[in-house]
Chains A and B, each alone.
Chain A
C-alpha cells in the first residue's frame, strides 16, 4: 500500500482541514476561538511549508535532471484507487515548492486580515481553511487525478466565501460567473487529461494518472502518434489535446479572452478571499497548465504556445490599459492581476529556461504582491466605505502603514530593481528576446522569430503599469484628506500590521536575494525545457 511516506506534505495539507473540522465543532458563540484556531492551523502549515522550502535539495534535483529523471522531494506515495491507476502521490519539485510557501504565506496573512469579520466567523474560517487545503493539494499533487481533485475542491469554498461574505452589490453575479467559468475550463481540461491517460496506457500498458508515469510515456513517444486511427499523422495526441488542457486550466490563470470572471470575482470577494484568489488561486491555473499541459505534452507546447503567446501579450497590455481606466480602487488591482498573470503565461510561452524561470518567480512575486495590494485595498475600504478613487485622498496621513505597504507593492508591480518584481520580470523579457530555441526550429517560427517584437510591445504594459500605480498612489494616499467625508478613520489593528509587514518582507527578501528561489525553480524546469528544445 504505502510506497513512500514522509508525511510532511500530507501534514501541511491536513492541518487546515483539521482546523476547519475543529472550528465547525465549536459552538456558535465561540468567534474568537475560531479565529485563533484558524491562525494556529495556518501558522503550523506555514512553519511546515518553510521547512519544505528550505529543506528542498536543489543539487539533488539538478542531478536528477542531468539524468533526465523527474525529481520530487518529500514524497508521500500511497495506493488509493488502484484499479484506475490513481495513487495519493504528493511531492514538491522546484516549481511547486515556492508555490506551497506562497499558499502558506497568503493563507496565514488572510486569516490575520479577516480577524474583523463578525458575521459567522466560524463558517468563514472553516471555508477559508478548506480553500487553503485545496490549493495546497493542487500544488503538491504528483498524481494528476489528485491535482484535479483538489482543483475542483478549491472552487466550491470560493463560491461560498464570495457569495456569503462578498461585496453585496455584485457577489451573486460574480460568484456564479467565477464558478461556472472555472468549471467549464476544468472539465475541458479533464477530457484532455483522460485522453492523455488512455493514450499513455495504450502505449505503455500502464494506466496511471501519476505524473512520473505520464512523463515516462511522453519520453517514450506515446503522444507523438495520431490520437485516433482515422486522423492524419500530423494530428498527434500532444498537438490535439494541448490547447484543451492549457487553455482549460488557463481560464483560472486569466488568459485573455477567458479572463472575464477574474476582475469581477476579485472585487466581489471579501479581502482575505481576494488575497487568496488573485494571489494564489490564479497561480493554480498557471501551475496546472504548466504541469499537465506543458510538462506532459511538450510537443504540443511547441506547436501551440507560439500562437498562445499573442493571447498573453493582449493580457499584459490590455489588462494594464483597462486598469488605467478604472475608478474603482479594487478593479484597478483586479485588472492589474490580469496583466501580471499575462506575464506568467508569457514566460511559459518563451519555452526557454530563462523565461520560464522568470514565470516561476513571477508567480511567487505576483502572489505576494497582489495579496498585499488587496489587503491594503480592504483596509482602506473598511474604513472609508468607498473605493471610488477620485473621492479618496490623503490616506497616507491616517493609515501610514497601509500607504507604505501599498507603495512598496506598487514598486514591485512596476518592476523596480531591488524588489521581487524586477527579479521576476527581467528574466521573462530576456527570455522573450531570446525566443524559443528549438532544434530543429518549430513549424511556426521558422521564417521569422517575432518573440523580440512581442517583448517590445509587452514593455508598453510595464510603462502603463507604472502610470496606473502612481495614479492610484497619488490620488488615494496623497493629496488632500477630506475630513468631512471621512470623519472617523481608525488606525489598523496589530493583526493587519503583522500581515502587511510579513508580506512586504518576502517582496524585499526575494528582491535582494533572488538566489533564494531562482535556482530552485530552474532545477524544476530543466527537464521540460530540455524536452522542448531537444526533441524532434
Chain B
C-alpha cells in the first residue's frame, strides 16, 4: 500500500490543526497586549475562531478522489482525511468553541487568555485523535488532548476541588495512558508496523499468537474505556467533573469523548477487522472482531446500568451529569458493538450522529449549570428550585437538554437513541437494544426529577439569573442544534454520518 504524496492534499488534511495553532498563538499574544478591559472579550476570539474553523472543516470536506484509501492516507499514513475524521473533527471543534463561549460566564476565567489557549490546544489534540491512523500519531494526539485537560481540570489553583480534580484526572489518566501505550507497543512488536491499516492485515493473517493479541486488545481497550468513562474505568469521572471548572467539564464530556470514540471506531475495525472486510483471496484469516464486539457489548451493559442507577441518587447536578455521561458511554457502545456485523454502516453512522447531538446537548446543559452556579454559588439540584420562575428561558434550555439526554422528541436525543437501537437490532443484538431501552426509562426518571425541581418547586430567591451575551450565543447555537438535528435537519446530518461510516469500511 502506498500513501498519498500530494503535498497540497497533506496541507489541506491538517489545515484545521494549522489554523488552530495560529489561533492559539493569536490568543496568547492578545492576552499579553490587551489591557484587562479589552481582555474580557478574548473569549470571543477563541470561541468564534474555533466555530469558524469548524465551519471551514465542514466546507473543505474530503478529497474529491475519495474512496481510495491511499489517497486519504496523508503525511506518511499518519492521518486519514476521510468523512469520519471530518465529522468527528467538527464535533470536537464545535465543542471547544462553545466551551470557550461559556467560559465567558465565569468571571475568574473570563480574562485568562492562557486558559483559552490551552482549550484550543486540547481541541487540536482531539481533532488529531479523530483523524489519526498511525500508532505514533494516536498516542501523540491522545496525549496532547489529555495533558492539556489535566492542566485545565486543575486550573483553579485556589480551589481545593479543582486541584483535586486535576490531580485525580492526571493520576488515572497517566495510568490509562500507560496501559494504552503498552498495548500499542505490543501490537507494534508483533507486527512491525505502525500504520493501523497495514498492521490490521498482519494481525488477521500473520498467524499471531492468540493470547498475545487478546492481551494487546485488552490493554488498548482499557485506555479507550478510561477516555470515554465506561465502567469499570469510570471512577475518576464524578470527582473530576465536580471539581473541574465547569467549561472544562463540558469539554471533557464532549470533545475528549467524541474524539476517543471516533478513534475507537477506526482502530477496532482497522486493527481487528472482521474477516469479510478483508479481500477474499487471503488465507488463514483469524477473526478477532468477535472479541471486541463482546467486550463492547459487556461494557455497554455495565456502563448504562451502573451509570443510570448511580445517577438516581445524586444531589449535585455536575455529579449527576457525570453519571449520566457514563450511562451515555454505554449507549454509544451499543452502537460500537453493532459496527462489525453491520456492513451498511448503520451502527457507525448512529454513533457519529449520537455523538454529534450529544456534544451539543451536553454543552447546553453545562452552559446553564455555569450560569446558575455563578449566580447562586451552588451546584445542588435542590437549589435549581423555581428556575422557571426566575429565568424561564434558562429553564426551558435546561429542559431541552435534559429531554435530549433522556431521548424524548423533538430533541435530537430521540433520533440518536432510535438510530442506535435500530442498528443494534439490525445486527442481531436485540437483547442489547432491550437493555438499552430499559436504561432509557431509568434515565428518564432522574432527568424528570430535575425538570420537576425547576418547574414545580418554589425558589428561595426570585431574582432572575444574569446571562452574558457570550452565553446567549452558546445557548442559542446549542439549543438550535438540538432542536433542528432532532427534526428538520436529521437527514443532512445522518447522511454525513453515513458517509463517515462508509469511509470506515474502506480498507486495504
**Residue A3 lies at the interface, judged by CB distance under 8 Å to chain B:** no
A120, B459: Cα distance in complex, Å = 14
Residues of chain B within 8 A (CB-CB) of A179 are 444, 448
Residue B422 lies at the interface, judged by CB distance under 8 Å to chain A = yes
Q: Is the CB of A194 within 8 A of B498?
A: no
Interfacial residues of chain B within 442-496, with CB under 8 A of chain A in the complex: 444-445, 448, 451-452, 455-456, 490-491, 494-495
- Given A180-B444, A195-B425, is A84 in contact with B494 using a C-beta cutoff of 8 Å? yes
Report whether B455 and A194 are in contact in the complex, using a CB–CB cutoff of 8 Å: no
SS class, residues of chain B in contact with chain A:
helix
- The A71-96 residues at the B interface (CB cut-off 8 A) are 79-84
| Pair B433/A83 contact, Cβ less than 8 Å | no
Q: Knowing A152-B414, A159-B448 are in contact, say whether A191-B403 is a contact too (CB < 8 A).
A: no
| Interface members, chain A 40-87 (any B CB < 8 Å) | 79-84
Is B56 located at the chain interface by the 8 A CB criterion? no
A84-B419, A120-B388, A156-B403 are contacts. A183–B444 as well, Cβ < 8 Å?
yes
- Are A28 and B392 in contact, CB atoms less than 8 angstroms apart? yes
Within 8 A of A (CB), among B416-444: 418-419, 421-422, 425-426, 430, 433-434, 437-438, 440-441, 444
User: Counting CB contacts under 8 A, is B136 at the interface?
Assistant: no
Interface flag for A155 (CB, 8 Å): yes
Are A82 and B445 in contact, with the CB atoms below 8 A?
no
Contact call A180/B445, Cβ cutoff below 8 A: yes
CB closest residue in chain B, given A197: B422
- Knowing A187-B440, A191-B430, A195-B425 touch, does A164 contact B498 (C-beta < 8 A)? no
Contacting residues, chain A, for B147 (C-beta < 8 A): none
Q: B232 — which chain A residues lie within 8 A by C-beta?
A: none
Could you tell me the dominant secondary structure of chain A's interface residues? helix
Please judge, given known A-B contacts A80-B491, A183-B441, A187-B441, whether A163 and B409 are in contact too, CB under 8 Å: no
CB proximity of A79 to chain B, nearest CB, Å:
8
In the complex, what residues of A have CB within 8 A of residue B186's CB?
none
For residue A486, which residues in chain B have a CB less than 8 angstroms away from its CB?
none
A163→B392 contact, CB < 8 A: no
**With A84-B422, A180-B444 known to touch, is A152 a contact of B408 (CB < 8 Å)?**
yes
CA distance A7 to B403 in the complex (A): 29
Residues of B within 8 A of A481 (CB): none
Q: Which residues in window 7-45 of A have CB below 8 A to B?
A: 24, 28
- A80's closest neighbor in chain B, by CB? B491
Nearest chain B CB to A252's CB is how many angstroms away?
15
In the complex the two chains form, what is the Cα distance from A265 to B202 in whole Å? Answer: 62
Q: How far is the CA of A84 from the CA of B495 in the complex (A)?
A: 10
Residue of A nearest to B495 (CB): A83
Q: Shortest CB–CB separation between residue B443 and chain A, in angstroms? A: 10
Complex contacts, B421 vs chain A, CB 8 Å: 190-191, 194
Q: Is B275 an interface residue (CB 8 A)?
A: no
Compute how far the CA of A120 lies from the CA of B386 in the bound complex, rounded to whole angstroms.
12
Of listed A24, A150, A155, A190, residue having the most chain B CB within 10 A: A190
Would B444 and A24 count as touching, CB distance under 8 A? Answer: no
- Give chain B nearest CB distance to A269 CB in angstroms: 14
Knowing A156-B403, A179-B444, say if A81 contacts B491 (CB, 8 Å): yes
Contact status of A153 and B448, CB under 8 A, knowing A164-B455, A198-B425:
no
Instruction: For A187, list chain B residues within 8 Å (CB).
Output: 437-438, 440-441
Q: Is B410 part of the binding interface, using a Cβ–Cβ cutoff of 8 Å?
A: yes
Q: Name the contact of B498 in the complex, choosing from A83, A123, A171, A190 (C-beta under 8 A).
A: A83
* A-contacting residues, B375-407, CB 8 Å: 388-389, 392, 396, 403
> Which residues on A sit within 8 Å (CB–CB) of B388?
120, 123
* B438: A residues at CB distance < 8 A: 187
Q: A234 on the interface (CB 8 Å rule)?
A: no
Docked-complex contact A153 and B455, CB < 8 angstroms = no
Evaluate whether A184 and B414 lie within 8 angstroms (CB atoms) in the complex, with A84-B419, A156-B403 already known: no
Contact status B452-A83, CB under 8 Å: no
- Chain B residues with CB below 8 A from A164, complex form: 455-456
Question: When A160-B451, A194-B425 are in contact, do A83 and B414 touch as well, CB less than 8 Å?
Answer: no
| Min distance, Cβ B463 to any Cβ of chain A, angstroms | 14
Contacts of A183 in B (CB 8 A): 440-441, 444
Interfacial residues of chain B within 5-64, with CB under 8 A of chain A in the complex:
none
For the complex, give the distance between the alpha carbons of A84 and B491 in Å.
9
Of A83, A123, A152, most buried by chain B (CB within 10 Å of CB) is A83
Query: What's the nearest-Cβ distance from chain B to residue A89, in Å?
Result: 14
A191 — which chain B residues lie within 8 A by C-beta? 421, 425, 430, 433-434, 437
| A83-B494, A83-B495 known; A156+B455 contact, CB < 8 A | no
**A149-B434 contact, Cβ under 8 Å, with A163-B455, A180-B445:** no
A216 interface residue (CB < 8 Å to B)? no
- CB proximity of A134 to chain B, nearest CB, Å: 9
Provide the residues of chain A in CB contact with B409, threshold 8 Å.
149-150, 152-153
Is the Cβ of B451 less than 8 Å from the Cβ of A159? Answer: yes
Kindly state whether residue A322 has any CB partner on chain B within 8 Å.
no
Most buried by A among B414, B419, B456, B494: B456
Contact check, B408 vs A24: say whether CB atoms are below 8 A apart: no
Could you tell me the distance between the alpha carbons of A130 and B287 in the complex, rounded to whole angstroms?
A: 51
Residues from 151 to 194 in A contacting B, C-beta threshold 8 Å: 152-153, 155-156, 159-160, 163-164, 171-172, 175-176, 179-180, 183-184, 187-188, 190-191, 194
Partner of A83, one of B410, B437, B491: B491
Q: CA–CA, A175 to B448, complex, Å?
A: 10
Inter-chain contact B425/A82, CB cutoff 8 Å:
no
A240 to chain B, nearest CB (A): 11
Select from chain B the residue with minimum beta-carbon distance to A188: B437
| Residue-wise interface mask of B (352-395) relative to A, using a CB-CB cutoff of 8 A (1 in contact, 0 not) | 00000000000000000000000000000000000011001000
**Pair B392/A123 contact, Cβ less than 8 Å:** yes
How long is the Cα–Cα vector from A120 to B395 in the complex, in angstroms? Answer: 14
B410: which A residues are within 8 A, CB to CB?
149, 153
Q: Which of chain B's residues has its CB closest to A137's CB?
A: B409
Residues of B within 8 Å of A83, CB to CB, are: 349, 491, 494-495, 498
Task: Name, among A156, A194, A198, the residue most crowded by chain B CB atoms within 10 Å (CB to CB).
Answer: A156
Residues on B with C-beta less than 8 A from A145 are: 418
Cα distance, A483 to B389, chains bound together (Å): 38
User: How many angstroms from the CA of A194 to the CA of B440 in the assembled complex?
Assistant: 17
What's the Cα separation between A327 and B445 when bound, in Å? 31
Does A176 contact B392, Cβ atoms closer than 8 Å? no
Q: What's the Cα separation between A163 and B452 when bound, in Å?
A: 7
- A79 cross-chain contacts in B, Cβ below 8 A: 491
Q: Which residues of A contact B415 (CB under 8 A)?
A: 81
- Give the docked Cα–Cα distance between A82 and B434 (Å): 25
- CB neighbors of B among A192-243 (8 A): 194-195, 198
Those 5 A-B pairs whose CB atoms lie nearest each other, nearest first: A187-B437, A153-B409, A194-B425, A81-B491, A81-B490
Given contacts A152-B408, A175-B452, A190-B437, 7 further A-B contacts (CB under 8 A): A81-B490, A123-B455, A152-B409, A155-B408, A160-B451, A164-B455, A164-B456
> Could you show 18 A-B contacts with beta carbons less than 8 Å apart?
A80-B491, A81-B490, A81-B494, A83-B495, A84-B494, A122-B392, A123-B388, A152-B408, A160-B451, A163-B456, A164-B456, A175-B452, A180-B444, A191-B421, A194-B425, A195-B425, A195-B430, A198-B425
Please give the residue numbers on chain B whose beta carbons come within 8 Å of chain A beta carbons, in ascending order.
349, 388-389, 392, 396, 403, 408-410, 414-415, 418-419, 421-422, 425-426, 430, 433-434, 437-438, 440-441, 444-445, 448, 451-452, 455-456, 490-491, 494-495, 498
Point out residues on A near B: beta carbons under 8 Å: 24, 28, 79-84, 120, 122-123, 145, 149-150, 152-153, 155-156, 159-160, 163-164, 171-172, 175-176, 179-180, 183-184, 187-188, 190-191, 194-195, 198
